Chains A and B, each alone.
Chain A
Amino acid sequence: MVIALILALVAIGSVAFHLFNPWWLTPIASNWNYIDATIAITFWITGVVFTAVVLFMAYCVFRYRHRAGQKAAYEPENKRLEWWLAIVTGVGVAAMLAPGLFVWSRFVTVPQDATEVEVVGQQWLWSFRLPGKSGLLGTSDASYVAAENPLGLNPNDPRNRDNIVITGDDLHLPVGKTVKILMRSVDVIHDFYVPEFRAKMDLMPGLETRFWFTPEKTGTFEILCAGFCGIGHPQMRGNVVVESEADYRGWLQKQQTFAQLSAQKVMKDHLADARIGPEKGEE
Chain B
Amino acid sequence: MSDVALGAGGTIPPAEVEDVELYHPKSWVTKYVFCQDAKVIALQYSATALAIGLVALVLSWLMRLQLAFPGQFSFIQPADYYQYITMHGMIMVIYLLTALFLGGFGNYLIPLMLGARDMVFPYVNMLSYWVYLLAVLVLAAGFFVPGGPTGAGWTLYPPQAILSGTPGTDWGIITMLASLILFIIGFTMGGLNYVVTVLQGRTRGMTLMRMPLTVWGIFTATVMALLAFPALFAACVMMLLDRLLGTSFFMPAIVAMGQPLNYGGGSPILWQHLFWFFGHPEVYIVALPAFGIVSDLISTHARKNIFGYRMMVWAIVGIGALSFIVWAHHMYISGMNPRFGFFFATTTLIIAVPTAIKVYNWVLTLWRGDIHLTVPMLFALAFIVTFVNGGLTGLFLGNVVVDVPLSATMFVVAHFHMVMGIAPILVVFGGIYHWYPKVTGRMLNDVMGKFHFWVTFLGAYAIFFPMHYLGLMGVPRRYYELGDAAFVPPSAATLNIFMTVAALFVGFAQLVFLFNLIWSLFKGNAAGPNPWHATTLEWQTPTTPPPHGNWGKQLPVVYRWAYDYSVPGAKQDFIPQNQPPAASLAT
- Chain A contact residues, CB within 8 Å of chain B: 1, 3, 6-7, 10, 14, 17, 21-26, 32, 34-35, 38-39, 42, 45-46, 49-50, 53-54, 56-57, 60-61, 64-66, 70-78, 81-82, 85-86, 89-90, 93, 96-97, 100-101, 103-105, 107-108, 122-124, 141-143, 145, 147, 152, 183, 185-189, 191, 193, 195-196, 198-207, 209, 222, 224-235
Quick one: given A38-B399, A85-B357, are A199 and B472 in contact (CB under 8 Å)? Answer: no
CA–CA, A70 and B489, complex, Å: 53
Q: Is the CB of A72 within 8 A of B335?
A: no
Q: Is the CB of A34 within 8 A of B401?
A: yes
Q: Least Cβ distance of B141 to chain A in Å?
A: 23
Quick one: given A72-B303, A202-B333, are A224 and B359 in contact (CB under 8 Å)? Answer: no
Beta-carbon contacts under 8 Å, B244-290 to A: 252-258, 260, 266-269
Of A21, A103, A202, A222, the residue contacting B487 (CB under 8 A) is A222
Of B157, B253, B350, the residue contacting A142 (CB under 8 A) is B253
Binds A, one of B90-98, B170-178, B383-391, B538-546: B383-391
Q: Is the CB of A187 within 8 A of B371?
A: no
Instruction: Give the most central of B82, B384, B388, B409: most A CB within 10 Å.
Output: B388
Which residues from A are CB-within-8-Å of B474?
25-26, 193, 195, 224
Query: B20-63 CB contact bits vs A (8 Å, 1 = yes)?
Result: 00000000000000000000000000000000000000000000
**Interface residue B405 (Cβ < 8 Å from any Cβ of A):** yes
Chain A interface helix/strand/loop/mixed: mixed
Of all chain B residues, the one with the shortest Cβ separation from A231 is B78
CA–CA, A240 and B405, complex, Å: 17
Instruction: Give the most central of B82, B385, B407, B568: most A CB within 10 Å.
Output: B385
Q: Is the CB of B395 within 8 A of A93?
A: yes
Query: B142-156 CB contact bits vs A (8 Å, 1 = yes)?
Result: 000000000111000
**Interface residue B14 (Cβ < 8 Å from any Cβ of A):** no
Which residues from A are CB-within-8-Å of B307?
75-78
Binds A, one of B183-191, B308-316, B506-514: B308-316
**Interface residue B364 (Cβ < 8 Å from any Cβ of A):** yes
Of B308, B385, B466, B472, the residue contacting A77 (CB under 8 A) is B308
Q: Least Cβ distance of A111 to chain B in Å?
A: 15
Q: Is the CB of A188 within 8 A of B165?
A: yes
Q: Least Cβ distance of B383 to chain A in Å?
A: 11
Q: Is the CB of B345 within 8 A of A100?
A: yes
Q: Least Cβ distance of A237 to chain B in Å?
A: 8
CA–CA, A38 and B349, complex, Å: 14
Q: Which 10 A-B pairs have the closest CB atoms?
A: A206-B252, A195-B474, A230-B165, A209-B335, A72-B304, A46-B392, A188-B160, A72-B566, A100-B399, A73-B368
Q: Is the CB of A230 within 8 A of B166?
A: yes
Binds A, one of B336-344, B425-433, B518-526: B336-344
Q: Is the CB of B160 within 8 A of A230?
A: yes
Q: Least Cβ distance of A244 to chain B in Å?
A: 21
Q: Is the CB of A53 within 8 A of B363?
A: yes
Of B82, B339, B388, B486, the residue contacting A108 (CB under 8 A) is B339
Of B258, B350, B385, B478, the residue contacting A10 (CB under 8 A) is B385
Of B304, B334, B363, B405, the residue contacting A56 (CB under 8 A) is B363
Q: Is the CB of A228 within 8 A of B256?
A: no
Known contacts A66-B372, A74-B304, A227-B408; can you find 16 more A-B pairs with CB under 8 A?
A: A38-B399, A42-B395, A46-B393, A54-B385, A57-B381, A74-B305, A77-B311, A89-B356, A100-B349, A205-B252, A206-B253, A206-B254, A206-B266, A207-B252, A224-B485, A234-B481
Q: Is the CB of A104 within 8 A of B401?
A: yes
CA–CA, A246 and B368, complex, Å: 71
**Interface residue B216 (Cβ < 8 Å from any Cβ of A):** no
Q: Is the CB of B563 within 8 A of A76?
A: yes
Of B311, B367, B405, B487, the residue contacting A82 (CB under 8 A) is B311
Q: Is the CB of B370 within 8 A of A70?
A: yes
Of A50, A81, A108, A189, the residue contacting B364 (CB under 8 A) is A81
Please tell me the number of chain B residues within 8 Å of chain A, measured between CB atoms: 110
CA–CA, A14 and B268, complex, Å: 40
Which residues from A are CB-within-8-Å of B479?
233-234
**Interface residue B532 (Cβ < 8 Å from any Cβ of A):** no
Q: Is the CB of B491 within 8 A of A23?
A: yes
CA–CA, A87 and B381, complex, Å: 25
CA–CA, A3 and B481, complex, Å: 38
Which residues from A are CB-within-8-Å of B370?
64, 66, 70-72
Of all chain A residues, the one with the shortest Cβ separation from B368 is A73
CA–CA, A221 and B479, complex, Å: 19
Q: Is the CB of A97 within 8 A of B346?
A: yes
Which residues from B are CB-within-8-Å of A143?
253, 260
Which residues from A are CB-within-8-Å of B309?
76-77
Q: Is the CB of B269 within 8 A of A204?
A: yes
Q: Least Cβ distance of A279 to chain B in Å?
A: 20
Q: Least Cβ distance of A188 to chain B in Å?
A: 4
Q: Least Cβ distance of A87 to chain B in Å?
A: 9
CA–CA, A105 and B339, complex, Å: 8
Q: Is the CB of A74 within 8 A of B371?
A: no
Which residues from B are CB-within-8-Å of A202?
333-335
Q: Least Cβ distance of A128 to chain B in Å?
A: 18
Of B266, B393, B407, B472, the residue contacting A24 (CB under 8 A) is B472
Q: Is the CB of A195 within 8 A of B160?
A: no
Q: What are 24 contact pairs spanning A and B, CB under 8 A? A: A25-B474, A39-B396, A46-B392, A61-B381, A64-B369, A72-B303, A72-B370, A73-B566, A75-B307, A82-B357, A82-B360, A85-B356, A86-B356, A86-B357, A188-B254, A191-B333, A193-B474, A199-B405, A200-B333, A204-B335, A207-B252, A228-B160, A234-B78, A234-B480
Q: Is the CB of B310 within 8 A of A187?
A: no
Which residues from A are CB-within-8-Å of B258?
145, 147
**Interface residue B234 (Cβ < 8 Å from any Cβ of A):** no
Instruction: Give the most central of B152, B266, B408: most A CB within 10 Å.
Output: B408
Quick one: given A97-B349, A191-B333, A231-B78, are A22 and B491 in contact (CB under 8 Å)? Answer: yes
Which residues from B are CB-within-8-Å of A225?
476
Q: Is the CB of B408 within 8 A of A50?
A: no
**Interface residue B470 (Cβ < 8 Å from any Cβ of A):** yes
Q: Is the CB of A57 within 8 A of B160?
A: no
Q: Is the CB of A206 within 8 A of B372?
A: no
Which residues from A are CB-within-8-Å of B256?
123, 187
Q: Is the CB of B473 within 8 A of A24?
A: yes
Q: Least Cβ distance of A282 to chain B in Å?
A: 11
Which residues from A are CB-within-8-Å of B160?
187-189, 228-230
Q: Is the CB of B405 within 8 A of A65?
A: no
Which residues from B are CB-within-8-Å of A25?
405, 472-474
CA–CA, A25 and B160, complex, Å: 30
Of all chain B residues, the one with the shortest Cβ separation from A28 is B405
Which residues from A are CB-within-8-Å of B381?
3, 7, 57, 61
Instruction: Give the most central of A38, A39, A90, A227: most B CB within 10 Å.
Output: A227
CA–CA, A93 and B462, complex, Å: 28
Of A10, A152, A189, A232, the residue contacting B461 (CB under 8 A) is A10
Quick one: given A22-B491, A23-B473, A64-B371, are A222 and B400 in contact (CB under 8 Å)? Answer: no
CA–CA, A231 and B215, complex, Å: 44
**Interface residue B378 (Cβ < 8 Å from any Cβ of A):** yes
Q: Least Cβ distance of A99 to chain B in Å?
A: 8
Q: Is the CB of A205 within 8 A of B304?
A: no
CA–CA, A78 and B360, complex, Å: 12
Which residues from B are CB-within-8-Å of A227?
408
